[in-house]
Amino acid sequence: MPHMDIMIAFVSFFALVASWLVLPHAPVRRAATDAPVEMPAGVVRAA
Amino acid sequence: MDKINAGDTAWVLASAALVMLMTPGLGFFYGGLVRRKNVLSTVMHSFFVLCLISVQWVLWGYSLAFGPDVKGWGFIGDLSWIGLRGVGVAPNADYAATIPHLAYMSFQTMFAVITPALITGAFAERKRFKAFVIFSLLWATLVYDPIAHWVWGHGGWLGKMGALDFAGGTVVHISSGVSALVAAWVLGPRIVHEDGEAGGPHDLTMVVLGASLLWFGWFGFNAGSALGANGLAAWAFVNTNTAAAMAALTWITVSWAHKGVPSVAGATAGAVAGLVAITPAAGYVTPAASIVIGLTVSLACYGVVQLRDRIKIDDALDVWAVHGIGGTVGAVLTGLFATKSINDAGNNGLFFGNPDQLRVQIVAVAATWAYSAVMTFVILKILTFFVALRVTEREEAMGLDLTQHSEAAYSM
């Protein structure tokens, strides 16, 4: 089949892109200790 | 088949590598300018775009930008080169007659990569990673690829009109700078803490390192755009260095007069503004003109940066002020200072007896501003139906490094 390599390349790339849309996000953890991270103290306001 | 020139090929491939280094360099430049809780996410924006667009370009981007023109409209290339089908070692005389077509494509890859990376400075510290990824892919396809075709593609309408853009003043800098302003407006401003957290640049040494890498890579960007190891590359090289230096000196001086100190951050911003402005002009103007361009762009960009707070749009790292305005200044001044004594394939500008070149330059600038702004707005609005553009207020307060990547830049 002509251009089979290009077809497979397209499918592979779009499979990655699609996965980015649906992959869940892991709970936020601090990398060094792997401990859960809390919201910092202090008031925030919109700029 | 055209004969491949070893020197030209070596220079263009080396230039492609130089331009590649600019994107991680941009990551360092932007990374130093943000707060320490967002440095990794900011660096990641540039690094991810390098990966994403490198593949997009091979699969369909290069074909849309440089492939055979669709119906002769000059708007977009067709899909006959998807997957680099038909793009091989044989030179393509429409673009570069003395180097492999693949070498030209590789050089152009790095331009396509850095352009969406430039926009990331506008929405730093608040954009959701998932939204950034999809936006970058759509923006490269729907904004960069068409504009690159207009100006540089064979049969592109601005190229046919005679617009001069040696290395990307319109294609790279105006498109990204204007899009950055629209993106910052649509996303809204960052949250500011009232708990004493330091704002602004968290590491100026990183900013200077990033700016230096950008300056170094820009020799490939501009001198490489001569597409040969020749005298034109030497002109572009000299002009690039001279404009950057003059712009940095000017910014330092103006900020010193305005705020009482010669700012380090200002020196880097000035150098980048000079590099942006000389980009469209590098292969068309004299070194003396590059000094004037460096001076002018620094004054213009410094003034616009001061106006930023008044327009209430949080373009976090001044992408619009430096790239949008800098690119516009460079493109317009090319219409004044261009001379065929430097590049016979170019044209004379207003100061060399051809006032019409200024009109053409203004048309190119206006078209790029309008198309970039409208398309960026449309892309972002459509994206909002599928994914949240911003992180939550809680995530923003904690920082994007932890909330988007579960990593921290510094352990001390």
Closest CB to A37 among B58, B191, B398 = B398
Q: What confidence tens digit (pLDDT) does each residue in A10-46 have?
A: 999 999 999 998 888 777 765 555 555 555 555 455 4
Buried b (16+ CB within 10 A) or exposed e, B258-297: eeeeebebbbbbbbbbbbbbbbbbbbbbbeebbbbbbbbb
Query: Could you tell me if B82 lies within 8 Å of chain A, comparing CB atoms?
Result: yes
State residue A26's pLDDT score.
Answer: 75
Helix (H/G/I), strand (E/B), else coil: B191: strand
The set of residues, in sequence order, having a beta carbon less than 8 Å from that of B186 and lying 6+ positions away, is B377, B380, B381, B389
Q: Which residues of B touch A2 (CB under 8 A)?
A: none
Say yes or no for a CB contact (<8 Å) between B196 and A42: yes
Give the gap in angstroms from C-alpha B396 to the nearest C-alpha of chain A: 10
Looking at chain B, the whole-number percentage of residues with pLDDT higher than 90 is 93
Say yes or no for a CB contact (<8 Å) between A47 and B134: no
H/E stretch holding A45 = strand A44-46
Closest CB to B82 among A6, A30, A31 = A6
Give the gap in angstroms from C-alpha A15 to the nearest C-alpha of chain B: 13
Average pLDDT over residues B11-26: 98
Amino acid at B86: G
Distance CA B172, CA B327 (A): 8
- CA-nearest residue of chain A to B407? A31
CA B187 to chain centre: 21
State residue A33's pLDDT score.
Answer: 53
Q: What confidence tens digit (pLDDT) does each residue in B223-274 have?
A: 999 999 999 999 999 999 999 999 999 999 999 999 999 999 999 999 999 9
Query: Could you tell me if B316 lies within 8 Å of chain A, comparing CB atoms?
Result: no
Is the CB of residue B153 less than 8 Å from the CB of residue A2?
Answer: no
Say yes or no for a CB contact (<8 Å) between A37 and B402: yes
CA atoms within 13 A on the CB side of B165: 33
Q: What confidence tens digit (pLDDT) does each residue in B152-169 have?
A: 999 999 999 999 999 999
Distance CA B310, CA B326 (A): 19
Give the gap in angstroms from C-alpha B109 to the nearest C-alpha of chain A: 17
Give the gap in angstroms from C-alpha A16 to the nearest C-alpha of chain B: 10
State residue B237's pLDDT score.
Answer: 98
The set of residues, in sequence order, having a beta carbon less than 8 Å from that of B14 and lying 6+ positions away, is B220, B224
- CA-nearest residue of chain B to A31? B407
3-state SS, one letter per residue, for B57-109: HHHHHHHHHHCCECCCCCCCECCCCHHHCCCCCCCECCCECCCCHHHHHHHHH
Distance CA B377, CA B380 (A): 5
Q: What confidence tens digit (pLDDT) does each residue in B60-117 have?
A: 999 999 999 999 999 999 999 999 999 999 999 999 999 999 999 999 999 999 999 9
Q: What confidence tens digit (pLDDT) does each residue in B346-368 have?
A: 999 999 999 999 999 999 999 99
Query: Could you tell me if B194 lies within 8 Å of chain A, comparing CB atoms?
Result: yes
DSSP-assigned beta bridge partners for residue B69: B77
Q: Which residues of A touch B310 (CB under 8 A)?
A: none
| Residue owning tokens 């001076």 | B295
Which ipTM score applies to this complex?
Answer: 0.88
State residue B52's pLDDT score.
Answer: 98
Distance CA B166, CA B32 (A): 30
pLDDT band with cut points at 50, 70 and 90 for residue B45: very high
Q: What pTM value is reported for the model?
A: 0.94
State residue A43's pLDDT score.
Answer: 47
Residue B385 has pLDDT above 60, yes or no: yes
How buried is A12 (Cβ within 10 angstroms: 0-12 exposed, 13-18 middle, 19+ buried)? Answer: exposed
Say yes or no for a CB contact (<8 Å) between B133 and A44: no
Say yes or no for a CB contact (<8 Å) between A40 and B195: yes
Say yes or no for a CB contact (<8 Å) between B407 and A44: no
Residue B389 has pLDDT above 80, yes or no: yes
Chain mean pLDDT for chain B: 95
DSSP-assigned beta bridge partners for residue B192: A45
Helix (H/G/I), strand (E/B), else coil: B124: coil
List phi, psi (to 5°) of B80. -70, -15
Say yes or no for a CB contact (<8 Å) between A42 and B398: no
Give the gap in angstroms from C-alpha B403 to the nearest C-alpha of chain A: 5
Best residue in A20, A34, A43 for a mutation probing chain B (most B CBs within 10 Å):
A20
Say yes or no for a CB contact (<8 Å) between A41 and B195: yes
Distance CA B267, CA B253 (A): 9
Give the gap in angstroms from C-alpha B199 to the nearest C-alpha of chain A: 12
Give the gap in angstroms from C-alpha A41 to the nearest C-alpha of chain B: 8
Helix locations, A1-47, DSSP H: 4-22
B132 to B127, B135, B138, B383: CA distances (angstroms): 7, 5, 10, 10
Interface size A-B, in CB pairs within 8 Å, comes to 80
pLDDT band with cut points at 50, 70 and 90 for residue B311: confident
Closest CB to A45 among B59, B192, B398 = B192
More confident residue, A1 or B183: B183
Q: Which residues of A touch B (CB under 8 A)?
A: 3, 5-6, 9-10, 13, 17, 20-21, 26, 28-32, 37, 39-47
Is the CB of residue B22 less than 8 Å from the CB of residue B221?
Answer: yes
Q: What confidence tens digit (pLDDT) does each residue in B266-307 have?
A: 999 999 999 999 999 999 999 999 999 999 999 999 999 998
